[in-house]
């Protein structure tokens, strides 16, 4: 009797033989296609991929922010009323030149420093002055439209609470420091954010820049506790969460052009570019520098594109469809970083729109290479100054809206209140300081001053006391 084992072995041998035969018989490339030249067997050198020129879109990319755009920036009425110069009485002691009449029925409404206002003392001994419009005989307080209007809390307290939030202490921490209820702090933040948004819009428009750096940074919030997940895990988890902080800045003047919070999506990239386009002068198309996030291309094209009619390739047939192409003056380069095991391995550059020479020419004016270093430095400041964006914090931040308010506060504080070391200019003559300190040789400058938006360093108090007029005032009147 032959054992089963024998048959198994026989089967195994047959299988091995079949494999060998198949390997020998199977047509291999080298046998069936004789190569004209004996190729060296060394691995082929990596092909250098030439990026294809951008072919253009057949449809104009849709921007949600453009579709839902609010009314255009209010323009001053074409005919301003005549200036009022007081003829009678003694010289005015109180400067009312930064105020305007709020009465919608008054011809002088919204005109700042038109001479129609007169100080009227402090009603019932309150801290704020009352102003009188001599045209409409309307009375209003000098805090109308600011966070201080109708508040019984001390001005100093409100200013310090907001300053603490701007410096990066969380809402609960600030509430403990000043022994105020956390909900009160939140309420003040909400009101201040609304006012500061108007403040930003009032000053930040028609800005001319050579370069814009764009970046997104993630914020750990609520459900994701710091320390429990790695950075990459957090990124994956947060990819869908609306907790990415988007920043656009002018690296030359360190000016923050836009700052927002949302998903890491095309719609959000478009929204940020939309905001940048709103801040920049209409004919200003700067050099954009971003990381390798792919959606920036479409987002930039949405706002810096035009229809181009491609040339006919053949004499007959229908004309080729028009293409949505980048504006000829638009320059866009990406800085692509390869990170392995949380270590930076390689940094490469890719010019997407325009030429490398043109991009380098813009950068050479500052003695720079293609980089996104400045925006990354700003990201660090944001982490320090906006409590909700910091890595190891669990602050009272009611989701996206709460974070947006803190970012609005930081936006104004950074642009108008914080002098930047690299922007300071030497004084013509050194100023002596009080006491024994050395003489002052430098004039501190904020990004807003460097960009020519204002001529002085604002304090948070003056920012919060500023009554934003309803339309931009004509210059030099």
Residues that bind Zn ion (CB under 5 A): 101, 103, 106, 108, 133, 135-136
Tell me the C-alpha distance between 433 and 420, whole Å.
Answer: 21
Identify the residue whose tokens are 């602050």: 395
Tell me the C-alpha distance between 40 and 467, whole Å.
Answer: 77
* Residue whose CB is less far from Zn ion, 134 or 224: 134
* Residue whose CB is less far from Zn ion, 108 or 246: 108
The least distance separating Zn ion from the CB of residue 118, rounded to whole angstroms, comes to: 11
The least distance separating Zn ion from the CB of residue 473, rounded to whole angstroms, comes to: 16
The least distance separating Zn ion from the CB of residue 248, rounded to whole angstroms, comes to: 39
- CB proximity list for 120: less than 8 A, separation 6 or greater: 129, 130, 131, 132, 139
* Residue whose CB is less far from Zn ion, 106 or 256: 106
Token readout for 165 is 């939030």
The least distance separating Zn ion from the CB of residue 469, rounded to whole angstroms, comes to: 13
* Residue whose CB is less far from Zn ion, 106 or 389: 106
* Residue whose CB is less far from Zn ion, 132 or 165: 132
Tell me the C-alpha distance between 446 and 424, whole Å.
Answer: 8
Q: Which helix (H) or strand (E) holds 9?
A: helix 4-25
* Residue whose CB is less far from Zn ion, 63 or 101: 101
Q: Do residues 437 and 171 make contact, with C-beta atoms less than 8 angstroms apart? A: no
The least distance separating Zn ion from the CB of residue 114, rounded to whole angstroms, comes to: 10
Measured between alpha carbons, how far is residue 242 from residues 68, 239, 380 in Å? 20, 8, 20
* Residue whose CB is less far from Zn ion, 106 or 248: 106
* Residue whose CB is less far from Zn ion, 99 or 445: 99
The least distance separating Zn ion from the CB of residue 477, rounded to whole angstroms, comes to: 18
The least distance separating Zn ion from the CB of residue 144, rounded to whole angstroms, comes to: 12
Neighbours of 92 (CB within 10 A): 13
Tell me the C-alpha distance between 396 and 402, whole Å.
Answer: 9
The least distance separating Zn ion from the CB of residue 103, rounded to whole angstroms, comes to: 4
Tell me the C-alpha distance between 426 and 25, whole Å.
Answer: 84
- Say how far residue 107 (Cα) sits from the centre of its chain: 38
* DSSP-derived pairing of the beta strands 287-290 and 305-308: unpaired
Tell me the C-alpha distance between 411 and 91, whole Å.
Answer: 40
């Amino acid at each position: 009797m032959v054992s089963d084992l024998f048959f198994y072995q026989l089967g195994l041998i047959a299988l091995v033989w079949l494999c060998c035969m198949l390997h020998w018989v199977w047509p291999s490339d080298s046998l069936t296609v004789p190569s004209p030249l004996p190729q060296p067997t060394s691995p082929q050198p990596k092909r250098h991929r030439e990026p294809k020129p951008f072919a253009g879109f057949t449809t104009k990319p849709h921007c949600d922010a453009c579709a839902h755009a609010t009314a255009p920036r209010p323009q001053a009425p074409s005919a301003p009323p005549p200036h009022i110069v007081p003829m009678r009485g003694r010289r005015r002691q109180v400067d009312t030149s930064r105020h305007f009449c709020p009465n919608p029925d008054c011809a002088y409404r919204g005109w700042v420093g038109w001479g129609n206002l007169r100080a009227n003392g402090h009603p019932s001994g309150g801290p704020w002055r009352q102003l009188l419009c001599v045209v409409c005989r309307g009375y209003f307080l000098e805090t109308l439209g600011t966070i201080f209007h109708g508040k019984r809390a001390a001005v100093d307290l409100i200013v310090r609470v907001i300053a603490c939030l701007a410096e990066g202490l969380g809402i609960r921490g600030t509430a403990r420091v000043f022994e105020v209820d956390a909900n009160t702090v939140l309420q003040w933040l909400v009101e201040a954010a609304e006012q500061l948004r108007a403040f930003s819009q009032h000053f930040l428009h028609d800005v001319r820049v050579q370069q814009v750096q764009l970046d997104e940074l993630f914020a750990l919030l609520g459900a994701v506790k710091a320390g429990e997940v790695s950075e990459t895990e957090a990124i994956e988890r947060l990819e869908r969460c609306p907790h990415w902080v988007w920043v656009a800045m002018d690296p030359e003047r360190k000016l923050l052009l836009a700052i927002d919070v949302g998903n890491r999506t095309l719609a959000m990239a478009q929204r940020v570019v939309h905001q940048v386009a709103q801040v920049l002068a209409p004919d200003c198309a700067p050099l954009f520098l971003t990381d390798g996030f792919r959606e920036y291309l479409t987002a930039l094209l949405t706002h810096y594109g035009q229809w181009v009619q491609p040339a006919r390739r053949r004499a007959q047939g229908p004309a080729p469809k028009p293409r949505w192409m980048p504006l000829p003056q638009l320059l866009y380069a990406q800085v692509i970083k390869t990170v392995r095991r949380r270590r930076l391995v390689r940094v490469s550059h890719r010019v997407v729109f325009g030429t490398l020479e043109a991009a380098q020419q813009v950068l050479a004016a500052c003695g720079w290479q293609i980089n996104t270093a400045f925006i990354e430095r700003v990201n660090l400041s944001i982490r320090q100054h906006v409590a909700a964006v910091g890595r190891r914090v669990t602050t009272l931040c009611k989701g996206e809206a709460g974070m947006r308010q803190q970012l609005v506060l930081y936006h104004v504080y950074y642009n108008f209140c914080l002098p930047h070391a690299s922007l300071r200019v030497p004084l013509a003559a050194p100023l002596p300081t009080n006491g024994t300190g050395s003489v002052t040789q430098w004039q501190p400058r904020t990004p807003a001053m460097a960009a020519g938006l204002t001529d002085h360093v604002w304090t948070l108090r003056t920012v919060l006391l500023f009554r934003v007029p309803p339309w931009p005032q004509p210059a030099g009147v």
